[in-house]
Amino acid sequence: MDNLWNIDMKLKLLIPALLVAATLPLGAQKYKAGLVDKTVAVVGGEVIMISDIEGQIQQMKAQGMNSDRDMRCEILENMMESKIFLMQARIDSLTVNSDMVEGELTQRMDQFRTYMGGDEELEKYFGKPLYKLRQEWKQMFEDQSLTQQEQAQIAQRIPELTPQDVKEYLDTVNKENLPVVPIKYQLSQISVYPDRQAASMAVKEKLLSLRERIIAGEKFATLARIYSEDPGSARKGGELGMASKSIFWPAFSDAAMALRPGVISQIVETPDGFHIIEVLEKKGDMFNARHILLKPQYTEEDREKAFKRLDSLKTKIQDGEMTFALAARFFSEDLATRTNGGQMADPASGSSYFEIDQLKPADYMAIKDLKEGEISAPVESQDNEGYQQGRGGNTVYKIIRVDKILPAHPASFENDYPDLLQQVQGRKQMEAIDKFLDEKIKTTYVVIDPMFKGCDFSREVWKSKVSE
């Protein structure tokens, strides 16, 4: 049985065929020599061409995706299923989410332009002018918008679930195969920050010194290799490569776009740290630049000062002079937890319970041997400022109290009802979507070209639609 706690609760097929992480290493094209284009499937009033499939293969190749299935068969099947949803969406008079389409289109265009190194390279790779690619991808995202809305409507039609539904689900599962709920922790913290202003001033002084050395004649690339704290670009002399301005922090992009090639910027601050920038080339809203990144560094003195303060608070709490919650409200510098008496919450889900892999490594090492009610020694960790951008946060010092420990255990109705309800709901939604597809495919005019006769489609009903 699938691990209950690792199942993706998103509905099936919400990711369009373009984005399916599914291709084999590209080899020779499987079609007859000289075949330029042809219809390979008809689904109702919709047609799928060889060029549609090959276009997606090109994009998948550019993204480095892989699969253990025949990629063309998988792409075709996903396309046909999408056509079924798309036709129903039109019958239901659903409308395109224009904001979603424009956002997805802009992101896709900028990603590929950056990856390919510019507009000319992108046009050369796909063999089409930029305006044509934009038209095709816009249509794809419009279809995706309608498809997702139709799937959501189908999922919403399932009756509201009750505790009895969850009990019936548990009755059908072999108790020995029930998933194990991993150990979870409920935690509170008191956090203090080092003197960022002093550290920032030190970084700025160092960057100004490097800028002066470059202006005096030293090579930007040489100094970037030695001093830059951006490991990805430092080994390339700080060079970032031709990229869309949209992929960088706004402050960085604005500074770079305002520079003339060869001019060294003043210090630019972003959430990653402090930069000096040199633009090498600009094309429209794209640029190639090199930079030197330095981040505020904190001294052993900063650490010792924070640890001493936290140790003092810990002693007062343990001696009963104040509660942990009161100390957090008065002394913690983490605004997100201070008002809740220090109680921590997972930034992704908002839950007050953490599994081990949801904790920062430093936090887990501090509490892994503690019992409920015990307080950790001071620890250096990171806050959640960079969580949504997928980067590390700011340095922070903290003590952590273990409020509650939920031991690992087989899932049960009494202890894990909310998670089990979500699991059953996800299964019911997927079953509803599968049932819709199976019924629609049977009643829809579908013809598949015999060149796909050997495909191992995940739905058997497709095989009966292959023409002889």
Is 444 found in the same domain as 381? no
Supply the CATH number for residue 290's domain: 3.10.50.40
In-domain check, residue 168 = no
- Cβ atoms 460, 438 nearer than 8 A: no
Supply the CATH number for residue 126's domain: 1.10.4030
Is 103 found in the same domain as 19? yes
Q: Where are the beta strands (DSSP E) in 96-253?
A: 180-181, 184-192, 243-244
Is 145 found in the same domain as 14? yes
In-domain check, residue 416 = no
The whole-number pLDDT of residue 23 equals 29
Is 19 found in the same domain as 134? yes
Is 189 found in the same domain as 331? yes
**Which structure tokens are listed for 371?**
């019992």
The whole-number pLDDT of residue 370 equals 96
Could you read off the pLDDT of 305-354 as tens digits, one per residue? 999 999 999 999 999 999 999 999 999 999 989 999 999 998 877 889 99
Of the residues 269, 294, 319, the one at which a domain ends = 294
The whole-number pLDDT of residue 18 equals 33
In-domain check, residue 80 = yes
In-domain check, residue 151 = yes
| 211/461 Cα distance (integer angstroms) | 67
In percent, how much of the chain has pLDDT > 90?
53
| 216/425 Cα distance (integer angstroms) | 66
- Domain total in the chain: 3
Is 133 found in the same domain as 12? yes
Is 128 found in the same domain as 100? yes
Could you read off the pLDDT of 205-248 as tens digits, one per residue? 999 999 999 999 999 999 999 999 998 899 999 999 999 998 89
| Beta carbons within 8 Å of 233's beta carbon, 6+ residues apart | 224, 239, 240, 290, 291, 293
Of the residues 294, 328, 360, the one at which a domain ends = 294
The whole-number pLDDT of residue 391 equals 61
Is 364 found in the same domain as 256? no
In-domain check, residue 166 = no
Residue with tokens 């949209």: 246
Closest C-alpha to 311, from 402, 367, 371, 379: 379
In-domain check, residue 179 = no
Could you read off the pLDDT of 116-164 as tens digits, one per residue? 888 888 888 888 898 888 898 899 899 999 999 999 999 999 988 889 9
Is 150 found in the same domain as 221? no
**Which structure tokens are listed for 341?**
């008496």
Is 432 found in the same domain as 403? no
In-domain check, residue 366 = yes
- Cβ atoms 396, 192 nearer than 8 A: yes
The chain-wide mean pLDDT, for the chain, equals: 86
Closest C-alpha to 434, from 18, 12, 39: 12
In-domain check, residue 167 = no
Could you read off the pLDDT of 357-389 as tens digits, one per residue? 999 999 999 999 999 999 999 999 988 876 555
Is 234 found in the same domain as 271? yes
The whole-number pLDDT of residue 386 equals 60
Of the residues 245, 275, 294, the one at which a domain ends = 294
461 confidence band (pLDDT: 50, 70, 90): confident
DSSP per-residue string spanning 62-96? HHT---SS-HHHHHHHHHHHHHHHHHHHHHTT---
The whole-number pLDDT of residue 2 equals 36
pLDDT at 20 over 50: no
Is 123 found in the same domain as 21? yes
Q: Tell me what the mean pLDDT of segment 403-422 comes to.
A: 87
The residue segments making up the domain with residue 67 are 4-29+36-160+423-463
Could you read off the pLDDT of 177-213 as tens digits, one per residue? 677 889 999 999 999 999 888 899 999 999 999 999 9
The whole-number pLDDT of residue 5 equals 31
The whole-number pLDDT of residue 320 equals 95
